[in-house]
Chains A and B, each alone.
Chain A
């Protein structure tokens, strides 16, 4: 307890409130308020010029008839699928390779980890060059069969898969690190016991490692899907034009941007973002449910 001048007792617990106040005020202003404001906006028509008009559920009803929204929803789901299952498998395999000691492990692991370092925009710029129709990736893949031109980004059928490949390349080393942390937490005695019982490395993995990695698996699954639902910069910078060609890489995050900052349809933009939020919340709830069971 400290004494204030005048003898009024000022209990030190109130200092706790003073310490948290700046942060609470900040989040109230720049997170909680805009979240609620955005929810309200999704029930209005607003173009930044004339005052917002309340339209009830119209924006949401219109979304499901909206061709762009249906494109974006389908593209996002395809992207999420491509950015999850292959990433889980490949990052786990990579972790199993780097989990055990061998010559040159530290250097090779650091090299493998490099894609985690550059910002997403850098990744998009570099891959835009590598995926030039007559560029380096074409010569490294199609070159073997005499193909000299592959329209990785200009072909609307191929572009979504190019996005997934680049995204997965950039994110796999990160998830490898998470798996490695999970593997490191497995008590070595369990593995030794399995080895003494004559279990081979494949059986040890299926029956010993994998059950122990349950919590890590839930984490990897949740992070990778939440991350993929929010994708934006990659589809903005990597394609020939943002979301192109022919809207084949238009994802929900990009549609929010398009409606909000190109068409100035703030109500529609907010409605799309509410749908995004609902999808992400659903993933989070599934994660919590699995965590409870794990």
Chain B
């Protein structure tokens, strides 16, 4: 089968992003990092940055750029890794993750120069800002899109639904939200902690609801994002995206222990070995 060049390019970048994320998290030492929630959304972040969005690292406030808001800000390793790969953040800054006076904070802190659009990490609070940004684009007659990644656990927050209703009322069809459904939140599975029928709720809120069955499959993510970009439905769009928490690192997958923790030398080496193996397998195909 002929390989899709764009998809392969995104996969190359995603592999480097996972490595950079592990490097960042490991370099934080005992401070640790939110590995699991970053790895689950790594492929969708990569697909957005390298297959979908329009932006220019040399002109970070370019008016026509697409906007990206990581509402589940604790997954910042994925965001920073994308910004490194895109050329906003120099790769040399990796050891500064969570360091004193670093711009690579444990939750994104708005920094235009380095491509960080919005401060986020207080759960629920990035999404309404993304809604306001989409409304502003409509108000000013600008054609760009606003992309936002929300966590499944984050959908517990009341403000998500305040903002969702208002976005539908305002027909923000320039707003595309991906819900990262990795099935875990801090104290258990999402179904244990707070069972929510996300499909029914988003639909009831007035959104167009789409699904991605494998959110760690770049090809599928890219296909749905391209479809939704062309959608002429005058509603905001939400893509319920099933992912694997900790995706790509054997001992982290579906393991809540690695939601947020530090890793030791041995775990670091194992993570790199897992990534080496996956890369070798992909190149063989």
A binds B: no
Chain B contact residues, CB within 8 Å of chain A: none
Chain A contact residues, CB within 8 Å of chain B: none
